[in-house]
Amino acid sequence: MSDFDDLYQDLIMDHYRHPQGKADLSHVPDEKAMENPTCGDSIKLEVLRDEGGRIAEVRHDGHGCAISTASASLMTEYTRGLSPDEARAAAERFIVALRGEGRLSELDAMGDLAALRGVAGLPVRVKCATLAWHALLRELGEKAS
C-alpha cells in the first residue's frame, strides 16, 4: 500500500465526508480557536458533559483537510462517555504515538484511531491529525484548573 492509500483509507474518507460532532460553534469566540501554523487552519471545540461530568459529546467547528477533519470526528467518537481525565490521557497517548515519541502500536489499542497511523511517517501531516486533540487538551485543561 502506498503512503497515500495508507493515509486516505475508506474509514478516514467516511469520517471526512460525514464528520461526527461537526457543529456550528459561531457562539464560541474566534480567539478560542486552535490554529495550525503551517496551513492557517483552525478549529473550535465545545465539550458537552452529562450529569456525572463525563463527556457526552465533543463538538467541533472550523475547516481543515481530510486528515484533520477525520481526526476530529474520530475524537468525538472515541471520547464519548470518557471522564475528562480519561480523555486527557487518551489525547496525550494519541499525540505522543503520532509524533513518534512513543510506540505506534499504542494506537492499535485505540480502536478506529489506528486508521490514522499512516500519518506518523509524515511529520508535516502530524500537525493536521493532532490539531483537534491539542484543542481538546486545552479545553479540558482550562476546565480542570
Partner 1 sequence: MGGIALMTDVPVATKGVELDDRIASLRSRFPVLSREINGHPLAYLDNAATSQKPLEVIEAMDAFYLSRNANIHRSLHTLGEEATADWEGARAKVARFIGARRTEEVVFTRGTTESINLVASSWGDAFIKEGDVILLTLMEHHSNIVPWQLAAARRGARLAYIPLEADGGIDLERVESAWDPRTRIVCATHMSNVLGTINDIARLSEIAHAHGALLLADAAQSAPHMGLDVGALGCDFLAFSGHKMYAPMGIGVLWGRESLLEAMPPYMGGGDMIRSVGLERSTYNDLPWKFEAGTPDVGGAVGLAAAIDFIEGIGWDYIGARENELGRKTLAVLEAVPGLLVHGKARDRGAVFSFSFADIHPHDIAQYLDREGIAVRAGHHCAQPLMRHLKVPATTRASLAFWNTEDEILRLGAALEGARRFYL
Binding stretches for partner 1 (CB under 8 A)? 2-5, 7-8, 38-42, 63-68, 125, 128
Name the residue nearer to partner 1 (CB basis): 1 or 144: 1
Cβ of residue 25: shortest distance to partner 1, in angstroms?
17
Cβ of residue 122: shortest distance to partner 1, in angstroms?
8
Name the residue nearer to partner 1 (CB basis): 28 or 39: 39
Q: With helix as H, strand as E and coil as C, how does 53-77 read?
A: CCEEEEEEEEECCHHHHHHHHHHHH
Name the residue nearer to partner 1 (CB basis): 27 or 63: 63
Q: Which residues are within 8 A (CB) of 15 and not within 5 positions of it... i.e. 6 or more apart? A: 69, 70, 73, 74
Report the candidate in 113, 77, 78, 120 with the shortest Cα–Cα distance to residue 97.
Answer: 120
